[in-house]
Structure 1
Amino acid sequence: MRFGRTPEQTAFADALDDLLGAADTPGAARSWADGDPALGLSLWQRLAELGVAGLLVPEEYDGLGASPVDVTVAFERLGYHGVPGPWVESVAVLPALLTQADEAKVLAGIASGQAVATLAAPRLTPRALDADVADHAFALTTTSALYRAEPGDRHGSVDATRRLFDLTPTEQIATVDAGRSLDLGTLACSAQLLGAGSRLLHASVAYAKQRHQFGKPIGAQQAVKHLLADVRVALDFAAPLVHNAAVDLEAEAPTAARSVSAAKVAAGDAAYLASRTALQVHGAIGYTREFDLSLWILKVRALVGAWGTPAEHRARILESLVSGEGAR
């Protein structure tokens, strides 16, 4: 088994970096938070042209039929560049559910980037992200009943780019097996956390090199070096867990659910450490909303609790270990 990215996946990540690095993603995120999604939707369409929107849509619906590993490649870059929108719901979770529901038109729209979709599901994501922007909203009222839904009241988030809405189910369209799809959502969120944590680390290293105190860069101080090194180690330990979870999901391994939870916990802890360290290294400027760093700090804080809290995922890991489920 190959435990690493293929040349094609590396090239895919590079292509995403080229596109997103040339775009004003902080500007798109700020506009999105203010209720103007035009820049974000334009970016959505450009990413769809690279295949991101249709990664998990089956080929018969004009998608790529890609693997969970491909999903982690894409979502790590989305997290690194701070792209707003219901990407997890539309790209990682809904394709398999809508395939079971035989929603061919919606699937083709998602794959082309012409349609944005969102989802609410019990426990993991009880409120739908960006339901006012989405063309299609769906609700899982249990782990198996999939409904079309209409957006209701909006709720705030620590991350202003995450616009959360209650959903009212309207029409049941299918009975589905949602377990793997929800795990794919958790996996995609974990990859986003990895990317956001890496962005915060890179910003902190750059700032530590240029910020001078007492005649030399603050990065020359051993204490600062150790803080940044701890973040690097945490991210490097989390990355293989995210990749392993993707491999387990692709292989439908009995340990897949446990692997996904382990990835979410590790990626969340590493990204949160990156955000705390970024604040400490940047000092007072790190607290200002006008400074772009805040976009990633707040996103990490929101994503740590999204798609299952650390406590919930630790409990799932413990339950799996105690029961011997998926033992090998």
Structure 2
Amino acid sequence: MRFQLSTDQVDFRHALDDLLSGTDTVSAARAWTEGEHGPGRALWKRIADLGVSGLIVPEDDGGLGGSPVDLVVAHEALGHHLVVGPWIETAAYLACVPAHRARAAGGAMLTVAAPYALDADVAELVAGTTGERLESVDATRRLFRVADAPPPDEDAFDMAALACAAQLLGAAERVLADTVSYVRQREQFGRAIGSFQAVKHRLADVRIGLDFARPLVYGAALSVSAGSAGGSRDVSAAKAFAADAAWRAARAGLQLHGALGYTRELDLGLWLLRIRALTRAWGTPAFHRGRVLASLVAA
């Protein structure tokens, strides 16, 4: 079967890419780490006005009534452009919860414990009580402990894990593109390092990993959309594989940039840390492999 996005989905992706490409998302991310939420809030509103926060919310609740595939398209773009804020929590998890999906579709910035609440200092925590702030490897992700948090909704958790996998794909694609551009310019021994066979092989491995992960992510979206009994298993396979592929891209990007890759001034580092954080968010690779195994054994 050959899967292709619909014309509407392609147009939506282009519209979102155009919006984000015309915005200094990196500056907004750096400001977010310092507690300056103005640029991030402004960007949130523009993205919400485009319909991203209500993509999978039923039309009766003010959403667009879209599918999980639409969600993947949007979150891949959010990951590619390093957008800050609790988008997974609002537009994926809470968009599935009847009590909160109307507010999510309306553009409210909401968060939920998973098990820690992202950006609870700026977003509204929908359940539980906010506790101390924790340090995250990604400074753009401000995590908080939550007391009296309810158990996660299983369907909403799957949707959030799917969105997280999509963001990992988008972030990894950005890292790969930036690394390819760098190795074409960086010279050693009178030649661009991108002409060295070892470098080509390293980047080819990254490309192959992402090309194998993408069908799993979109396939999981179709599985969830169809209400398949194996939907949770497919989401877990997609999340685990996308995390591995993105981590491979991050390691290659860091190493091929050399010492420059370790500097805070290089924007690439923001994507590298985002990938590291999202790899463990909404279920670690080990957790998701465990769910896949349990599903296969039960079958």
Q: TM-score, normalised by structure 2?
A: 0.96
Of 174, 190, 194, which residue of structure 2 is paired with 1:219? Answer: 194
* 1:264 CA displacement: 0.5
Within 5 Å, give how 1:1-328 maps onto structure 2: 3-97=3-97, 99=98, 101=99, 103=100, 107-113=101-107, 115-120=108-113, 125-134=114-123, 136-138=124-126, 148-169=127-148, 178-324=153-299
* 1:44 CA displacement: 0.6
* 1:177 CA displacement: 8.7
Aligned partner letter, 1:224? V
* 1:2 CA displacement: 6.6
User: Aligned partners of 1:187 and 1:315: how far apart in 2?
Assistant: 16
- Equivalent residue pairs, number: 299
* 1:96 CA displacement: 1.9
* 1:117 CA displacement: 0.4
Unaligned runs of 5+ in 1: 139-147
Question: Contact (CA 8 Å) 2:179, 2:253: kept in 1 or not?
Answer: yes
Aligned partner letter, 2:290? A
User: Aligned partners of 1:56 and 1:165: how far apart in 2?
Assistant: 27
Poorly superposed stretches of 4+, deviation over 6 Å:
none
* 1:50 CA displacement: 1.1
Aligned partner letter, 2:266? F
User: Aligned partners of 2:92 and 2:135: how far apart in 1?
Assistant: 24
Structure 1 residues 218 and 241 mapped into 2: Cα distance closer, same or farther (>3 Å)? same
Unaligned runs of 5+ in 2: none
User: Aligned partners of 1:219 and 1:24: how far apart in 2?
Assistant: 28
User: Aligned partners of 2:165 and 2:228: how far apart in 1?
Assistant: 19
User: Aligned partners of 1:21 and 1:314: how far apart in 2?
Assistant: 35
Aligned partner letter, 1:130? D
Q: TM-score, normalised by structure 1?
A: 0.88
Aligned partner letter, 2:243? G
User: Aligned partners of 1:84 and 1:231: how far apart in 2?
Assistant: 25
User: Aligned partners of 2:239 and 2:4: how far apart in 1?
Assistant: 19
* 1:20 CA displacement: 0.6
